[in-house]
Amino acid sequence: MLRIKVSDRATTTGLRSFMTNIASLVAGLCAIGLIFVACGVNPFYAISKIFMGSFGSMYGFKETVTKAIPLIIIGGGLTLAFRSRFWNIGAEGQLLMGAIFSTWVGLAWGPNLPSWAIVPLMFAAGFLGGALWGLIPAILKIRFSINEVISTLMLNYICAEFMTLLIVGPWKGRSRFGFPGTDNLPESAILGVISGSRIHYVTLILALVFAVILAVVVYKTRFGYEVRVIGENPDAGRYAGINFFKTSLIVMAVSGGMAGIAGVGEVAGIHHYLTYPASISSGYGFTAIIVAWLAKLNPLYAVVSGLFFAGILVGGDAIQISLGLPAATVQIVNGTLLVFLIMGDFFFKNKITIRWGK
């Protein structure tokens, strides 16, 4: 009979962690290759096309960076939440809430304010929106022990429906001729881009700055220490008198707020008006979960893993068109990679012995 034994790995090293990630990605790509074969597509061609599409050309690379911006910001915020064992699945809703808040500010005050005033205001509003939306599940969890996975997930749908309601109802723009969507943001409220691309650099800079700040916070500050202790052993956190309520509130305010900032970037940098939730964010809040995971919950690594997954989004779009694959291709690729990363993590933490015997 086949016997499989799982036991804790006694020692782990940074190098092994890195190698495990690489191996998981390679294994994941192999599995994706099999899916392509099943669809009747040459897997080597398709996978190389994905990476050529995203990193192989200047146009593709610019698109990749554009899509990496929200992934890096949200992923960074999620590393903090996940590290404190707060399973925030609601970044998508927090992003949308940030978009709603900043649109309101942009439309209401934009016409009368110069760029240097309105842009920071919109970012602040976006952060606030995302943070508030993130605080709800934090309060529900600590005060009423409501599982945050469920509450954050459900709040996504509530926010998306709310946003739809706004754009077909009270916020419907006069310039839209009856189509859903708000009016365009005034010129001063629109983010500048690097010429010849859609890269709204203000948000990009914010993303990188946030990554560095978060890394410093986690590894150098008292607050970060408390988050790490809770993440390692909540009982020790209790023993050390760490205030779980306060810590969860801060963690979720930051995590939600950063998702909100990504929402500002999407509205003010890409679309320039508020439209359907599915157009504002193509699931960035969910993809960012994988980004944070691949980054091993280190906000600096999230910059790299954010770029990687943006590449898959862009490359996936490319092959979808050129190879005539279904629209779900990108999700399948992402999902497969996540499953393999999590499996890799399992093999990293545990030792498996398999053998024949009686």
Ligand X SMILES: Nc1ncnc2c1ncn2[C@@H]1O[C@H](COP(=O)(O)OP(=O)(O)OP(=O)(O)O)[C@@H](O)[C@H]1O
Instruction: Provide the binding-site residues for ligand X, judged by CB under 6 A.
Output: 10-11
**What's the min distance (Å) between Cβ of 353 and ligand X?**
18
Interface with another protein in residues 3-22 (CB under 8 A): 3, 5, 7, 10-11
Sign of CA dihedral 45, 48, 54, 60: negative
Among 42, 147, 175, 221, binds another protein (CB under 8 A): 221
List all residues 6 or more positions away from 34 whose beta carbon is below 8 Å from its beta carbon: 43
Among 40, 195, 235, 324, binds another protein (CB under 8 A): 235
Q: Between residues 11 and 145, which has the closer beta carbon with respect to ligand X?
A: 11
Part of the chain binding another protein (CB under 8 A), chosen from 20-28, 46-54, 181-189, 237-245:
237-245
SS3 328: coil
For residue 228, the partner it binds in another protein, ligand X, none, with Cβ less than 5 to 8 A by kind, is another protein
Interface with another protein in residues 116-155 (CB under 8 A): none
**What's the min distance (Å) between Cβ of 214 and another protein?**
14
**What's the min distance (Å) between Cβ of 9 and ligand X?**
9
Q: Between residues 57 and 221, which has the closer beta carbon with respect to another protein?
A: 221
| Cα–Cα distance for residue pair 244/230, rounded to 1 Å | 8
Among 30, 59, 194, 238, binds another protein (CB under 8 A): 238
Part of the chain binding another protein (CB under 8 A), chosen from 97-105, 136-144, 240-248, 338-346:
240-248
Q: Compose the 339-358 pattern: x for residues touching another protein by CB under 8 A, - for all others.
A: --------------x---x-
Residue 257: closest CA among 82, 130, 86, 72 = 130
SS3 355: strand
For residue 19, the partner it binds in another protein, ligand X, none, with Cβ less than 5 to 8 A by kind, is none
Q: Between residues 220 and 349, which has the closer beta carbon with respect to ligand X?
A: 349
**What's the min distance (Å) between Cβ of 74 and another protein?**
24
Residue 199: closest CA among 52, 53, 61, 50 = 61
Interface with another protein in residues 64-103 (CB under 8 A): none
For residue 243, the partner it binds in another protein, ligand X, none, with Cβ less than 5 to 8 A by kind, is another protein
DSSP state of 340: H
Please name the amino acid found at residue 163. M
Sign of CA dihedral 300, 305, 310, 315: positive
| Cα–Cα distance for residue pair 116/95, rounded to 1 Å | 23
Four-CA torsion 235, 20, 208, 331, nearest 10 degrees: -100
Residue 86: closest CA among 248, 293, 225 = 248
Q: Between residues 4 and 10, which has the closer beta carbon with respect to ligand X?
A: 10
Sign of CA dihedral 28, 285, 273, 173: positive
**What's the min distance (Å) between Cβ of 218 and another protein?**
11
Chain centroid offset of residue 266 CA: 13
List all residues 6 or more positions away from 104 whose beta carbon is below 8 Å from its beta carbon: 125
Task: Say how many residues touch another protein, by CB under 8 A.
Answer: 26
Q: At what angle do helices 58-83 and 222-232 cross, to 10 degrees?
A: 80
List of residues contacting another protein (CB under 8 A): 3, 5, 7, 10-11, 220-223, 225-226, 228-229, 232-233, 235-243, 353, 357
